[in-house]
Amino acid sequence: MLSSRTLSKNLASVVRQGRSLARRNYGLPASAIGLGTDPRKDKNIQLTPLRGVNIIHDPLLSKGTAFSIAERERLSIRGLVPPRCQEMEKQLLRIKRNLDALETPLAKFVFLSALQDRNETLFYKLLINYLDELAGIIYTPTVGEACLMSHSIYRRSRGMYFSSQDRGAMSAMVHNWPHDEVDVIVVTDGSRVLGLGDLGANGMQIPIGKLSLYVAAGGIRPRSVLPVVLDVGTNNESLLHDPLYLGMGHPRLDGEEYYSFVDEWVTAVHSRWPNALIQFEDFKYPHAYNLLNKYQDKITCFNDDIQSTSAITLAGILASLKARGRSQETLNEERIICVGAGSAGVGVCEGIVDAMVAQGRVNSRDEAYSRIWMLDQHGLLGNPALNTNDPQSIVGGGERMSKLDERQKCYVKADMTDRLSLEEVVEQVKPTVILGLTGVPGVFSEKAIRTMAKYQEKPIVFPLSNPDTRAECTAEEAFKWTDGRAIFASGSPFPDVNLPNGRVGRTNQCNNSYSFPGLGLGITVSRASRVTPNMFLETAKTIADMASPQQLKEGTLFPGVHYLRDVALAVGTRVCEVAFEEGVATAVLKEGEMLSDVVEGSMFVPEYVPLVHAPNAH
């Protein structure tokens, strides 16, 4: 087992490095908005206009059985809750005992959702205390099952839905949201939910889960997050014919009609919350890239599947190089196969290319592209003209090439036959790294991985699709087919594998839950007007440096999930610094303030504070 003390020391070292980098003042105009104070130092009171049952039923204010006698009196809730006042520790004991009695992950998901709907402070305290145990319940892999069953397990609305019938009304609708301050919005159109495909309005569970991690790991305040679904219909026939489905019952909008709809929504939310970070989530290709290209230079936004996934995957590869005893600066010497040419696959590869260029060891982006071989569902993106033995393939390949966009075309190999199978590509390329971003289980065949292992002492095998049922291979398969030599990371968690020689094959979760909370933290604290490419590169480098040499030797690339909050602090500090360095931060440091202290002080801590009724409070 890994030493918690070792991990803590290493993380502390990273945070100290971030602080030493941040011990500077960044001059900005006096008109810029100042950074807020530490919410943990302002524990005196919280004013609220609510009283009586409205307090009990407000999940942001409710304390359940923990209201003091004085609060019960002044808030008019005496007699509306059990008479004995129980502190949070007792509440946690009760909740955890009931949670542990449930047998299935989905049942636990429903239980935790109900807790979140009635007492968010207690929900986040529980989540932070048991992050390694519960992250996989509120997010991947269990959230995938929850999305599939969302219309059946629906209990209470959370977030906002903007549907095709709301066109022309969105600028008014945004004012239905009760909170004036929104820092982070996670939005999906449900078109490509994890590796599960088009789930329409059922995709709402993804923004909810993401934002739960933004709060628990990234320290964003619960009242300042907003999950959103853009319901433009669904092409999922099963949902269209399900009488319980809660979304719009028509095929998806597409083309100009679709982009006009999204544009109306972006305009509406930006008009009410101009400083909010918008995270695009689970949009299908090419909509994901088209929307990112349209808005990334206009508002504060990023695409999680393209950019955040790219950051954590790059972090995993850089850490793997160190695990092999190589320098991270030798990234350009790797031979990388990416199976998956959609938004996630292309996004991950673009991040790798950016890193190679930034390291200065390639002469051009084209040289960096030459180190990556990309496959889609038909096989290698190659040259159809080389299929001389199959004229029909030449015709079909030409049609396929014409449908590729400019990003995908960068990975076409003119000197290799189009549509080669994974096994054929592995034999020819002899890759050092193989990435899976297909959502198709079993794509990494035994033959392909065994061939790879024949040429590589420590093959890097990353089946990254979520949930675990969609992974390109399992951890057990990867270690078996490489004789225990693989450096393994997956999108959803797999247990460590006991090897025949008595060793343990360490598994890693290469999930963007390591990257986006810190990104969001740094962006919101700095009040960045734009999200820049360097923020993702620095996120990757920060995470890649967190494992100690001993952990890397054992095959561990990342800190455990229970350290997500520490990871977010380190990443957030570095991202915040990048925002100041690149001139996109609109916040200012007070004289003598250290950036790292401001970032840490801004992080939400779930604690009960005294409530006082004030009719005019907001």
Q: 166-195 pLDDT, tens per residue?
A: 999 999 999 999 999 999 999 999 999 998
User: Percentage of the chain with pLDDT > 90?
Assistant: 86
Asked if residues 304 and 281 have their Cβ atoms less than 8 Å apart, the reply is: yes
Does residue 417 carry a pLDDT above 50?
Answer: yes
For 64, the token pair is 């359940």
Instruction: Inform me whether the pLDDT recorded for 38 exceeds 50.
Output: no
Instruction: Give the model's pLDDT for residue 17.
Output: 46
Please say whether the dihedral angle defined by the alpha carbons of residues 270, 271, 273 and 274, taken in this order, is positive or negative.
Answer: positive
Q: Which of 459, 464, 455 is nearest to 479 (CA)?
A: 459
Tokens read off for 473: 């291979």
What are 344's two structure tokens?
Answer: 């996630």
Please tell me whether 508 is known to bind a ligand.
no
Encoded tokens for 239: 């949902």
For residue 90, the SS3 value is helix
pLDDT at position 14 over 60: no
Report which residue type is found at 393: S
Residues 6+ apart with CB under 8 A from 167: 261, 264
- d(CA 116, CA 119) in angstroms, rounded, equals 5
- CB–CB of 127/216 below 8 Å? yes
On the question of pLDDT at 43 being above 70, the answer is no
192 marked as binding residue: yes
Q: Given this chain, do its domains 158-299 and 307-510 carry the same CATH topology?
A: yes
Nearest residue to 173 (alpha-carbon basis) of 535, 392, 165: 165
3-state SS, residue 464 = coil
Residues 158-299: name the CATH superfamily: Malic enzyme, N-terminal domain (3.40.50.10380)
pLDDT of 200 over the 80 cut: yes
Question: pLDDT per residue over 75-105, tens digit each?
Answer: 999 999 999 999 999 999 999 999 999 999 9
pLDDT at 8 over 90: no
Indicate the pLDDT class of residue 399, thresholds 50, 70 and 90. confident
Looking at per-residue confidence, does 29 or 148 come out higher?
148
Q: Which residue has the higher pLDDT, 616 or 246?
A: 246
Of 111, 92, 182, 120, nearest to 153 by C-alpha is 111
Return the DSSP state at 111. Answer: H
Can the peptide bond before residue 610 be classed as cis, meaning omega within 30 degrees of 0?
Answer: no
149: tokens are 């069953």
Q: What is the pLDDT of residue 617?
A: 82
Q: What is the pTM of this model?
A: 0.90
CATH class entry, domain 307-510: alpha beta
Is 282 among the annotated ligand-binding positions? yes
Distance (Å, whole) CA 127 – CA 129: 6
pLDDT for res 574: 98
Query: What are 326-340's pLDDT values in tens digits?
Result: 999 999 999 999 999
Query: Which residues fall within 8 angstroms of residue 344, CB to CB, at 6 or more apart?
Result: 305, 306, 309, 437, 464
Domain residue extents for the chain: 158-299, 307-510
Q: 108 in helix, strand or coil?
A: helix
Rounded to whole angstroms, how far apart are CA atoms 74 and 68? 10
**CB neighbours (10 Å) of residue 246?**
17
What size, in residues, is the chain? 618
- pLDDT, mean of residues 477-505: 96
pLDDT tens per residue across span 119-174: 999 999 999 999 999 999 999 999 999 999 999 999 999 999 999 999 999 999 99
Structure tokens at 67: 């209201």
Q: pLDDT by residue (tens digit) across 271-288? A: 999 999 999 999 999 999
Question: What proportions of the chain, in percent to the nearest 5, are helix, strand and coil?
Answer: 50, 10, 40
Active-site amino acid positions? 139, 210
